[in-house]
Chain A
Amino acid sequence: MQTILSIGIDAFAYGMALFIICIGLSLTMGLMRVVNLAHGAFAMIAGYIASYVARDLGWGYGFAIILAVIGTIILSIPLERFLFRRIYGSSELTQVLMTIGITFCVIGITNYFFGPTLKTIPLPTGLSQPVDVGFRTIAAHRLFVMACGLVVAAGLWYVIERTAFGIKLRATVDNAAMADALGVKTQVVYAVSFALAIGLAAFGGVVGAEFLPIEPYYALRYMVTFLVVVSVGGAGSILGAVIACLVLGAVDTTGRYLMPDFGNFFFYAAVIAIVCVFPRGFFGKAQ
């Protein structure tokens, strides 16, 4: 019973950390039709910024998160303007190659400046202590990650389904030319949703650093994981991404607890099974 509870809590926290990072990728893939394999690279950049702010400058964790998100978005603007905008609407292979190229560049340049060591982001005392939740104690940081995940999911749902911007966004996705003709500034919509996606990647990269440690090959190591989560959940679907993160987080964590020797074996076996049964993911739209 104790094991099941531990697995459940770890899986949920891990799934939520994955969700915060992956939902940004799901947005770019589902709404903008760009397979952005460089998504993890932005999470990595944010991790490096946060580590620099919190550890080397000694400012607070909150400051680190905010500066990391803003810094990463600022860095991403020229990239969107000069590189990503050229591959909107290209074939998947072109997008994959271009974004792998960007990932390689980011890895090389980051390590030129920050060196090849593992970077930590020191947690404030409030988050590093265990919290008693009645039946057992949980690390406060895990609770924080779970709360962040739920807030992000609810906030995104509200923005996309209930605001004027969400309406324009959905219109642009369904028919960009028609939305443009009706006066929606589609270029602005694309730029804002791209910035939103990058911001979420940055936030997830910092918050989830305890699960996915910030190191030189971060962008490459988790590239596959992020891509898999999105294609299992169905690109562009918030609910799909939540379910995919929870299912894959549960499979991965259970595998690690009960059969650590097998590594990622069950994770990828589950992926193949799910993609074979649901080729568009759990909640993907027919294209």
Chain B
Amino acid sequence: MQTLAQSEKLAAAPSLGSRFLRDAIGIAAIIVAGIAGYFLFPDNLALLTRVIAVGLLVLSIDLITGYCGVATLGQAALFGAGAYAAGIACVNGVTEPLTLILIGAIAGAAAGLLMGTIMLRAHGLAQLVLSIAIVQLFHEAANKASAYTGGSDGLAGLMLSPLFGMFEFDLWGQTAYLFGLALLVVVFVVLKFVVASPFGMLCRGIKEDPVRIGAMGAFVFPVLLKMFVISGAVAGMGGALAAISTQVVGLDSVSFELSANALVMLVLGGLGSLYGALIGTVIFMGFEHVVSAINPFHWMTMVGALLIAVVLALPGGLSSIADAILPSRGRTRGGKA
């Protein structure tokens, strides 16, 4: 039955041209929303930059949870690895922002390789527990190596040189925000290609049925590990962006809480959809900013209720509402599956 339904979906798959058009519209929407944010909330650019950094983290979780079906509650380990690598490099004299992002990506990818190697040994619950243990271990290590990371005081004193030698990182965070937005758009476009590539299809196949993919002659472990490395690079870039924009790296950037929150954002927005990851991040962090200013415990109650509601009533997340409203788009999304 399932195969039949899938082949129907495939039959409904759009031509390459219409898919390209749809993605172009989606990316244009992200750019427009980003620039609108710049003009609508000029006093909150630091928060908006934080949203972009966390958005990269949520995208990276989407890659392994949404596309490969490997649940993780420890993705902040990769985010933190990128943040600390960029921070330490910056304190030691590497002040070029693009280089720092690259360093963050490499550190994140290395951490992703390590994490994937450990996590992919197990399945199901043990895998989830391993991911938690890894992020806690990273947290303790960052806390302990205070000579390099500043420990619980955080790593402060990041002095950046101007972007391209022209744009200073100002007090209002305008440069940091626009830089982050550009980074997000570039990463998003690259990820669109990654998930649409044969490699991305293979990952989705593994999510559906790893045994069958193995029987077809593909090696499951290296594919998943590769996705972990890509995901680590994305999360590392998010961490490096957070470090650059706030010019401080705190222990909270490698915490279980951040991992869990990021997963909640992803589920809120919709698993297995890159747009969903961004929608979830924006909505979650926007509400968090407003409600937790009033009372942090109200915020927790609200997130909890929202999570229960999403799990029970809307398993596809908020982005599936858009699919229901726009039936044509829903069908084309199915075609990619």
Contact = CB atoms under 8 A, between A and B. Distances in A.
B253 interface: no
A275 B256 CA distance: 18
Interface string A102-117: 1111111101100010
Interface string A88-107: 00001110111011111111
A103 B297 CA distance: 12
Given A97-B307, A272-B118, A108 B297 contact: yes
A37 B168 CA distance: 46
A92 B124 contact: yes
A262 B142 CA distance: 11
Nearest to A108: B301
B267 to A, nearest CB: 6
B315 A268 contact: no
A224 to B, nearest CB: 5
B307 A279 contact: no
Contacts of A162: none
A228 B301 contact: no
B308 A275 contact: no
Interface residues of A, number: 46
A265 interface: yes
Nearest to A93: B71
Given A101-B304, A263-B143, A275 B126 contact: yes
Contacts of A127: none
B71 A107 contact: no
A271 B128 CA distance: 12
A136 interface: no
Interface string A268-282: 110110011001110
Nearest to A269: B137
A139 interface: no
Contacts of B28: none
Contacts of B260: 100
B144 A92 contact: no
B125 A272 contact: no
Contacts of A98: 307-308, 311-312
Which of A92, A103, A275: most chain B CB closer than 10 A?
A: A275
A220 B126 CA distance: 19
A262 B146 CA distance: 12
Q: Is the interface of A mostly helix, strand, loop or mixed?
A: helix
B256 A100 contact: no
B27 to A, nearest CB: 28
Interface string B108-125: 000000000010011111
Contacts of A235: 125
A112 B133 contact: no
B71 A101 contact: no
B150 to A, nearest CB: 16
B166 interface: no
A263 B73 CA distance: 21
A105 B137 contact: no
A231 B121 contact: no
B133 A268 contact: yes
B311 A94 contact: yes
Contacts of A102: 304, 308
B301 A264 contact: no
Nearest to A280: B126
B175 to A, nearest CB: 36
Given A97-B267, A100-B260, A268-B137, A107 B144 contact: no
A107 B297 contact: yes
Nearest to A267: B136
A262 B136 CA distance: 12
Q: Which 8 A-B pairs have the closest CB atoms?
A: A108-B301, A104-B304, A101-B307, A105-B304, A108-B300, A265-B140, A101-B308, A231-B129
Interface of A: 29, 35, 83, 86-87, 92-94, 96-98, 100-109, 111-112, 116, 216, 220, 224, 227-228, 231, 235, 261-265, 268-269, 271-272, 275-276, 279-281, 287
Given A98-B311, A227-B132, A279-B121, 18 more contacts: A35-B125, A87-B311, A92-B71, A97-B310, A100-B264, A100-B307, A101-B308, A104-B303, A104-B307, A105-B301, A105-B305, A107-B300, A107-B301, A108-B302, A112-B298, A231-B129, A279-B122, A281-B126
